[in-house]
Every structure is written in C-alpha cells, then in structure tokens.
C-alpha cells in the first residue's frame, strides 16, 4: 500500500513539473545560460557542463512528448539521429507526432572498408538512412552538403528556413551546441544564422532540443526511453557501415542512454534515457551566435575546411545585412 501511494505521488510530482515547465514563460529551461558569456573557452565550458556538478541543485525535467505534434530533426550525418534521439523519435511517433528528419551532409567518406569509392559511400549511407526513416515512419530530406568539403551558402540557409516553414515543427532537434565535432557545430551555426536571417516572426515559434552524440551535455531535460530501448537498438543496427567499419555506435549509443538513466530516481532496474539541452528558439539563436563568434578557431578546433566555410558564410550573411552576422564578422576581424 505504501509503495503504491509513493508511486502515485512520484507520478503526480512529475506531472506538476511538466505542467509548470510548459506554462512558465521560459518553458522547461530551468538552467540559466547567461553566465556562460563570462567563459571564453568552449572546451572548458563543455567539460564543466558534462559533469554531474549541477545535479545536486538543479533537476532536469522530463519532456512531454505527448504534446509534440510535429518534430524536425537535423542530423549532420546519417546515424546521428539514432545515436542521440532514436528512442525519442520512436516514442514521439508512437504518440502520433509527425516526424521529419533532414540529413545535412551527404555522409561521404574516403578510404573506407564498406565502399570502393566516395560516391559509393554516399549511396550506402543514404540507403541506411532511408531504412531508418522507413522504420520510424519519418519523412526524409537530404540537404546535400559535402561531408568532405562543406561549403554552405546563403541558399542553404534559405533552404533550411524553407524546410522549417513547410514542416512547421513544435520542436527542432540537432546536436547540442557544444557537441565536439566541427560539422556538428557547423549545423548549429547554420541554423542560428538562418534563424537570425529570418528574425521577426516569419517562422512559427518552436523549441530547440539539443541531443548528445560525442560528449556529455548539460542536461536540463530528458526523455525516459526505456520502453523504446529495443527500438533504438534496432535503429542503430541498421547503420552497418559505421558499426562494422568505423565505431560501434550501436554499442556506444545504448551505453550513453544507460548512463543517462542516472537522471531518473534511483531504482534497481535497467533503464535508458536520452538527455537534452533545451532552449527557446530566440535564446538559442543568440547563444550560438555569441559563443561561436568569439573565437572561430577554437570553436571549430582549427578544422580548416569548416573554418573556411563558416567564415565565407558569415561574410556573405553580413554583406546581406543580417545584424548578428555583421556583429560576428566584426568580432572575427578584431580577433
């Protein structure tokens, strides 16, 4: 009897938190980010955010998937979506959400065991992504940036905004702002520049849910994917090219979700969680453009192709009068 009452109280407490988060002006964004602007080193920020330092005083909130009607996920590469949000996508689809997944790069790889050419590697990864989207019941989009030499243009930013306008998502998911790979940060930078370019309410308002791929994120929210763990495992298994020739992301993706279950109340059972760093759209845009532009060299770890690409894109956006792009360009010039 006592155990049953305790379970009911826990469920009630969770529902109250969800309701409070949705009604609060800033949504489920209970962790302040304004003090981050006092930190200059993104790698130190990433290291601190990836620890459990904040869990003693700040409690991440469960995200209410049943209230998400349309969801758009941006994946830098074919498999990022399943690693970071495969369980969340599955549960959102079960709840009736309309799923849209856009792969930003073509996934091209050189000198890789599963393909005799770069063109073949693109075709293999595209087939794997198509199988994943079919399993999820998601609509698939390919934005087509070269994975080897990405050169995003203003037209790519406009295509991204057009996709957002057409799909009208309640939530946009992409790797969190401090996920380490340069091309993961490039996708964040592109989204922020695109949103800044269309500032003024030309797109429906939505939330940004940053998912975890390569390094632990600053979790202010999460989805308990225990009931969809087998589905996530199955999605990851479809990426045989990566699991068998690059890295066992099927293993690491599940291990990451198992470790993130520490965000739940203690229980002697095997559980799985996908953590997120969630922000309102406009706050996200301001944060990315502010943090990234301080030192592009550090932001992109000296990754020359990406650095050249983003500098060219910022200059192009600045020339067309985008306010924050102009600020970023001036900042880079001073640096």
Domains of the chain: 34-334 (3.40.50.10320)
Q: List, for residues 211-263, the tens digit of each pLDDT value.
A: 999 988 888 899 999 999 999 999 999 999 999 999 999 999 999 999 999 99
Which range among 45-49, 72-76, 110-114, 218-222 has the greatest average pLDDT?
72-76
How many CB atoms are closer than 10 A to CB 135? Answer: 17
| Gap between the terminal Cα atoms of the chain | 65
pLDDT at site 277: 92
Q: List, for residues 313-323, the tens digit of each pLDDT value.
A: 999 998 886 55
Q: Please state, rounded to an integer, the average pLDDT across all residues of the chain.
A: 85
pTM comes to: 0.85
Q: Following DSSP, what letter does each residue of 219-235 receive, concatenated? A: -SEEEE-GGGHHHHHHH
Residue 302 gets which letter from DSSP?
T
CA dist list (Å): 104 to 77, 124, 149: 7, 16, 13
Least confident range from 120-124, 220-224, 307-311, 323-327: namely: 323-327
Task: Answer yes or no: is pLDDT of 48 > 60.
Answer: no
């Amino acid at each position: 009897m006592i155990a049953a009452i305790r379970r009911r109280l826990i469920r009630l407490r969770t529902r109250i938190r969800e309701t409070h988060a949705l009604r609060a002006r800033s949504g489920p964004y209970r962790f302040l980010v304004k003090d981050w602007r006092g930190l200059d080193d993104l790698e130190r920020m990433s290291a601190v955010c990836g620890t459990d330092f904040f869990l003693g005083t700040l409690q991440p909130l469960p995200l209410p998937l049943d209230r998400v009607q349309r969801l758009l996920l941006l994946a830098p590469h074919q498999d990022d979506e399943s690693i970071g949000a495969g369980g969340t996508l599955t549960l959102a689809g079960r709840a009736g959400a309309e799923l849209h997944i856009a792969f930003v790069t073509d996934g091209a790889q050189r000198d890789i065991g599963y393909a005799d050419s770069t063109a073949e590697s693109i075709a293999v990864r595209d087939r794997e992504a198509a199988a994943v989207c079919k399993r999820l019941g998601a609509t698939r989009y390919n934005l087509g940036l070269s994975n080897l030499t990405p050169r995003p243009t203003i037209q790519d930013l406009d295509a991204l905004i057009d996709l957002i306008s057409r799909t009208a998502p309640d939530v946009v998911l992409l790797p969190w702002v401090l996920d380490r790979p340069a091309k993961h940060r490039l996708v964040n930078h592109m989204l922020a520049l695109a949103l800044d370019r269309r500032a003024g309410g030309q797109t429906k308002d939505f939330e940004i849910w940053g998912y975890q791929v390569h390094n632990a994120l600053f979790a202010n929210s999460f989805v308990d994917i225990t009931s969809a763990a087998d589905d996530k495992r199955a999605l990851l298994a479809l990426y045989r090219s990566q699991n068998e020739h690059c890295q066992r992301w099927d293993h690491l993706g599940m291990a990451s979700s198992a470790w993130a279950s520490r965000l739940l109340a203690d229980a002697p059972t095997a559980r799985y969680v996908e953590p997120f760093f969630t922000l309102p759209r406009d706050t996200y845009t301001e944060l990315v453009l502010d943090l990234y532009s301080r030192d592009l060299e550090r932001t992109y770890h000296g990754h020359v192709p990406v650095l050249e690409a983003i500098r060219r894109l910022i200059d192009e956006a600045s020339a067309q009068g985008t306010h924050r792009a102009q600020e970023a360009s001036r900042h880079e010039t001073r640096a």
